[in-house]
Copies of this chain bind each other. A is one copy, B any other.
């Protein structure tokens, strides 16, 4: 499995975790739905960015292994699976 950008993905998800916690606090504080929806949209954008990093990592791995044909198929299958799971 590709893992060069795994730390980057991990950091992004940790940041999103904190962001969602912030939304919980906003709800408790009685902030407006408009403000809450704005933060929910920001979290969704953050999740999209994390997926982008994952796809980039898989593509980079594919390029790096392009000389070693045996593992390219494996990476391409994984990439195909990841893309199929995007909503």
Copies in the complex: 2
Which residues on B sit within 8 Å (CB–CB) of A47? 40, 43-44
Do B13 and A20 touch across chains, with their CB atoms under 8 A apart? yes
Which residues on B sit within 8 Å (CB–CB) of A27? 6, 9-10, 13
Do B13 and A17 touch across chains, with their CB atoms under 8 A apart? no
- In the assembled complex, A38 has its CB within 8 A of some CB on chain B: yes
Do A20 and B17 touch across chains, with their CB atoms under 8 A apart? yes
Do B37 and A54 touch across chains, with their CB atoms under 8 A apart? yes
- In the assembled complex, A41 has its CB within 8 A of some CB on chain B: yes
Cα(A59)–Cα(B42), bound, Å: 23
Interface centre among A20, A41, A50, A57 (most CB of B within 10 A): A20
